[in-house]
Amino acid sequence: MKQKRNLHARHESIVNWVVQHGQTPVETLAREFSTSEVTIRKDLTLLAEQGRLIRQHGGAAPLNKPQPATNTQLSLKQAIGQLAASLVNDSHKIVIDSGSTTATMVEHLKQPSQLVVMTNSLDVANQLVTFDNEPTVLMTGGTWDKQSQSFQGNMAGKMLQSYSFDLAFVGAAGLDVERGTTTYNELTLLNQEMARVAGNVVVLAESTKLRHKMPNIELAWQQVAVLVTDDGLPFSAEQQLNQQGVKVMKASLNGE
């Protein structure tokens, strides 16, 4: 518990530092917070996925309007993950990306021993192999990315091409109701490859991601079957997505 509190405190301090000082290199943050550059890179990747800062090559930059992480936000991720897991049946072959929201669905999978799951995420794989009824777990392999604790690159993409899946579960750094899912990362090829080898693509993202305007399109809505989000998504946005063929599923903290 103390370790979690310390981690939370460091994350808060990192966000405050970047907001106050602007674009900051990893080396500076590691020195300021007396920790390793590897740890800082992991922190920055997580904070960027939460929409609290912008991850840049070699460092981070502040958002225009940084939003503090809250217990409610973390609970929404869990609710979204649980709802997304309800789409999986015990005969499915699925692929899960390395996003923080997609990782929350793993603990809610039922009858996992019958599943085949491929992932590029070490976190997802580590969760799966702790189950009493362990599913068949496949790793993409590829180039190890310390920042995201996942495999990336051409080799990972080629491994995906050797398989076909019923469902792909992917996260998103941002949502654009007109264009698709967006990201701050120009290296979007792996999630696109996941979409190509899956019968249907399910995007997991909080409704607040609508406020995160990222420059790069990751997946166009024409590639997405389902968006699993929360009940904070405006009705107008839901209508726009429905018109583009996307089914919207809304998780609620009230369980409604």
Q: How many helices (H) and strands (E) does the chain have?
A: 9, 15
Q: Could you tell me the CATH number of the domain that includes residue 182?
A: 3.40.50.1360
- Is 159 contained in some domain? yes
Asked whether residue 117 is domain-assigned, the answer is: yes
Q: Which domain holds residue 7?
A: 2-62
Residue 256 resides in a domain: no
How confident is the prediction for the chain on average, in pLDDT?
87
Residues 216-236: tens digit of each pLDDT:
789 999 999 999 999 999 999
User: pTM surpassing 0.85?
Assistant: no
**Helix, strand, coil fractions of the chain, as percent rounded to 5:** 40, 25, 35
Quote the CA–CA distance of 161 and 210 in Å, as a whole number: 31
Residues 7 and 96 in one domain: no
Residue-wise pLDDT tens digits, 155-208: 999 999 999 999 999 998 889 999 999 876 655 678 999 999 999 999 999 998
Q: Give CA–CA dist 154/17, Å, rounded.
A: 35
Q: Count structural domains, the chain.
A: 2
Looking at the fold, whether 78 and 47 belong to one and the same domain comes out as no
> Measured between alpha carbons, how far is 62 from 69 in angstroms, rounded to an integer?
14
Mean pLDDT of the 138-156 span: 87
Q: Are the C-beta atoms of residues 97 and 191 closer than 8 Å to each other?
A: yes
Residue 15 belongs to a domain: yes
pLDDT digits (tens, 9 = 90+) for 36-54: 989 999 999 889 888 889 8
